[in-house]
Amino acid sequence: MSEKASPHGARPTTDDGYFEELTRAVFAGSTGGQVVDAKWPGFRRAFSNFSIRDVADYLPEDVDRLMSDPAIIKNLQKIEATIENAGEMLLIQIEHGSFARYLAGFESPEQAVDALVGRFRQLTPEAAAAFVERVFGPIAV
């Protein structure tokens, strides 16, 4: 069962909410925030309301479904990265108990940015900085 994600711009209260914001950062990184914002309701529907467990279980047929969905941005690398990133979030939950605890373990936002870029696919340093700023507040990177 998926908990409802936090509204955009608010600090997430669930790991699914962090996953949603991370995915938004991945897609907005090369497309631009306005295009992503306009399509975001379609993303929520297409990606099972960003249930980490559900998305981590997606199969090749789900990738095909997503690539034919006109309500989202059809970028194969980012769609595949979203599915892999859900699996990475599950590993973080196992290792740290929650994504929030994982983030709390960093000494600085800059350290979090570096770790996120190294851990999640299709997350550029700029996109990671935007994500960290959205969930923690302004940072200087």
Q: What is the pLDDT of residue 11?
A: 83
**Cα 78 to chain center, whole Å?**
10
Residue 10's Cβ-side half-sphere holds a number of Cα atoms within 13 Å equal to 8
Quick one: which of 90, 68, 89 has its CA closest to 79?
A: 68
Q: What CATH number is given to the structural domain containing 89?
A: 1.10.340.30
Does the pLDDT of residue 91 top 50, yes or no? yes
Query: Is 3 part of a structural domain of the chain?
Result: no
**What is the count of structural domains for the chain?**
1
Determine contact, residues 15/93, Cβ cutoff 8 Å: yes
Domain that holds residue 59: 15-136
Closest residue by Cα to residue 74 from 117, 34, 21, 35: 35
Question: Which pair of structure tokens corresponds to residue 1?
Answer: 């069962």
Q: Model confidence over 94-130: pLDDT tens digits?
A: 999 999 999 999 999 999 999 999 999 999 999 999 9
Looking at per-residue pLDDT, the higher value among 135 and 86 belongs to 86
Q: Does any domain span residue 43?
A: yes
**Which two three-digit tokens encode residue 28?**
């907005």
Within a domain: 64? yes
Q: Would you say residue 100 lies in a domain?
A: yes
Q: For the chain, what percentages of helix, strand and coil (3-state, to nearest 5) are there?
A: 70, 0, 30
Count of C-beta atoms within a 10 Å radius of residue 136: 13
